[in-house]
Amino acid sequence: MTAVASGRMVNSLTTGRLPRGSVWMLLIGSWVLLGLVFLFVQLSGATKSFNLVGAIFLGTVLFDVLIFVISLLVEGVRKAKDRLVTSLVATAFIVALLPLVSLLWTVVQHGLGRMIQPSFFSMSMRNVLDGSGGVVHALYGTLEITLATTIISVPIGLMTAIYLVEYGRGPLARAITFLVDVMTGIPSIVAGLFAFALFALLTGNPGFRSGFAGAVALSVLMIPVIVRSSEEMLKLVANELREAAFALGVPKWLTVLKVVLPTALPGIMTGITLAIARVIGETAPLLIASGYSDSVNFDLFSNRMMSLPVFVYTQYANQGSIAEFFTARSWAAALTLILIVMLLNLAARLVARIFSPKLGR
């Protein structure tokens, strides 16, 4: 590829290759360069603050170009293409990280100050006109609705998964598998419309909203998730365990209850926790089926019920005379919601990690 320097001892294995570590130096170099550029832009007064996101993004793009050109000169076209793709793939990852970091940073920055004020977890929004007020009513609502959703969805979802894995043969099993797939694709707002239409017809009151209607809407979204994850976990249980139980004369239902389910339980628990984490952040169905209110409502079956995601939305969308109060509460509630969801995800991972080694070998 490149001309070998004549008259000197050359290691034929390393010629025509970039020296080790040069890639990282190049990457850091490009970041520093673009950082300096943006620093000068800031010092010249064109932008108010240092644009870190822009510096990292453009620095990475500069690196992609540089590595291709340099590798093309030193290593030839095949290796250059390989290096280009490697850096592009890494760039894709960094590009995906930028919104995540930016979002988390924004929510913490805007929400933390308001969240740690004592009123936030001790007051509802009833008769609140100033900057105080809190999310108590929304927390109770989210807790009750999510609990009701879990109580509806877990038995149905788990039993269906058992049916599909242990009993299901023939057209009914095929129909259920297909319909679970269809259900997975239902847009969340359509689930909300369904619950609204159902309860409007049942009660004869087109303005009817309740926490339970919201729970029904969320169940439509949660059941297929639970069926899918539980099905996967039940399929993982070794057939030898079932056969051993049958050989000992254990009836089928006891085999499922005492052998199959306990073996698959950690995986099923993980699936359920992840499903709860997914459903707890759903806004659209609750906005339609449960409505929103300013006061605490413990009754799941009548009157509007507030929930945390709807609180985030309504505080942002229906701002009063002093907008900062409302946006501050909205961000604080958003931070609370993210914390809850992340905790649930962490719990799911922990359950999976602590119990999973018992599966398999």
Partner 1 sequence: MSTGTPRVIKARVRLGDRVFSTSTITAGSIIVAILAAVAIFLIAQSIPALVAKAGTLPNAASSFWDYVGPLAFGTVWAAFLALLMATPLSIGIALFISHYAPRRIAQVLGYIIDLLAAVPSVIFGLWGVSVLAPAVQPFYVWLNTSLHWFPLFGGDVSGTGRTILTVAIVLAVMVLPIMTAVCREIFLQTPRLHEEAALALGATRWEMIQMAVLPFARPGIVSAAMLGLGRALGETLAVAIVLSPALVVSFFLLTSQNPSTIAANIALQFSEASGVGVNALIASGLVLFVITFIINAIARAVVNRRRAFSGAN
Identify residues 152-191 at the interface with partner 1 (CB under 8 A).
155-160, 162-164, 166-169, 172-173, 175-176, 179-191
For partner 1, which residue of 40, 82, 113, 235 counts as binding (CB under 8 A)?
Answer: 82
Structure tokens at 83: 């290096």
Q: Which residues, numbered 107-126, are part of the site for partner 1 (CB under 8 A)?
A: 107, 110
Stretch that binds partner 1, among 33-41, 58-66, 100-108, 131-139 (CB under 8 A): 100-108
Give me the least distance between CB of 8 and partner 1, in Å please. 28
For partner 1, which residue of 4, 103, 112, 354 counts as binding (CB under 8 A)?
Answer: 103
Tell me: does residue 283 bind partner 1 (CB under 8 A). yes
Give me the least distance between CB of 331 and partner 1, in Å please. 7
Phi and psi for 10 in degrees, rounded to 5?
A: -120, 140
Stretch that binds partner 1, among 2-10, 25-33, 265-273, 339-347 (CB under 8 A): 339-347
Tell me: does residue 345 bind partner 1 (CB under 8 A). yes
- Are 302 and 153 in contact, with CB atoms under 8 Å apart? no
Which single residue is written with the structure tokens 């970091």? 101
Give me the least distance between CB of 132 and partner 1, in Å please. 21
Q: How far is CA 291 from CA 24, 209, 279, 308, 334, in A?
A: 53, 6, 17, 12, 18
- Are 189 and 149 in contact, with CB atoms under 8 Å apart? no
Which single residue is written with the structure tokens 């969801």? 341
Phi and psi for 31 in degrees, rounded to 5?
A: -60, -45
CA 115 to chain CA mean position, Å: 22
For residue 164, what is the enclosing H or E element?
A: none
d(CA 207, CA 122): 30
- Are 124 and 295 in contact, with CB atoms under 8 Å apart? yes
Q: Which residues, numbered 193-252, are part of the site for partner 1 (CB under 8 A)?
A: 193-194, 196-198, 200-201, 206, 220, 223, 227, 251-252
For partner 1, which residue of 257, 322, 323, 350 counts as binding (CB under 8 A)?
Answer: 257
Write the DSSP string, 182-239.
Answer: HHHT--HHHHHHHHHHHHHHHHS-TT---HHHHHHHHHHHHHHHHHHHHHHHHHHS-H
For helices 308-317 and 136-162, the axis angle rounded to 10 degrees is: 130
Residue number, 16 or 168, with CB nearest to partner 1: 168
Give me the least distance between CB of 241 and partner 1, in Å please. 18
Q: Which residues, numbered 8-67, are part of the site for partner 1 (CB under 8 A)?
A: 53
Give me the least distance between CB of 136 and partner 1, in Å please. 19
For partner 1, which residue of 135, 145, 233, 277 counts as binding (CB under 8 A)?
Answer: 277
For partner 1, which residue of 225, 284, 300, 351 counts as binding (CB under 8 A)?
Answer: 284
Of residues 112, 101, 99, the one with CA closest to residue 339: 112
Tell me: does residue 136 bind partner 1 (CB under 8 A). no
For partner 1, which residue of 215, 312, 328, 351 counts as binding (CB under 8 A)?
Answer: 312
Q: Site size for partner 1, by CB under 8 A?
A: 93
Of residues 172, 286, 180, the one with CA closest to residue 226: 180
Residue number, 33 or 88, with CB nearest to partner 1: 88
Residue number, 29 or 281, with CB nearest to partner 1: 281
